[in-house]
Amino acid sequence: MEIQTQKPRRERPKPVKLTEAAALRLAAIMENAEGKYLGLRVGVTNGGCAGMSYTMEYASDAKPFEEVMEDRGVKVFIDPKAILFLIGTELDFVQEKLGSRFVFNNPNQTSACGCGESVQITPAKAD
């Protein structure tokens, strides 16, 4: 009698990673929301002078076909149309003299407009 053993499943890499600063800021935002939101929804939309813009909004529920992941204790919901544009992206939170903001550090981004509101992104290639 032959016993078959299954190889342990390798964990799939996260399409988006959070820096510690981003995770801490998002956790504080979610804590102040008092359970109203499940996490953060990210995506991309067509528009702007460079062609695309990143989107961020609160996620109060999961939408069909979304990629749902957790990093550093924060749930991130990724629009299925955006997944290939966001693979490998690091979401950071930076504080500067006159303000603070979230920043997408995306290896698939090929250029950005002068105002910083829109970007040009090439979809990630499948390995």
- Dist CA 92 CA 124 (whole Å): 20
- Structural domain contains residue 57: yes
- pLDDT given at position 117: 66
- Structural domain contains residue 2: no
- Dist CA 88 CA 51 (whole Å): 20
Three-class SS state of 99: strand
- Structural domain contains residue 8: no
Q: Report the CATH number at residue 114.
A: 2.60.300.12
- Dist CA 78 CA 69 (whole Å): 8
Give the structural domain span for 66: 16-121
Element (H, E) at 21: helix 20-32
- pLDDT given at position 108: 87
**Owner of token pair 């629009």:** 79
- pLDDT given at position 52: 86
Mean pLDDT per segment of 10 residues, for the chain of length 127 residues?
A: 67 87 95 90 85 91 94 95 92 94 91 72 71
- Dist CA 17 CA 3 (whole Å): 39
- Structural domain contains residue 126: no
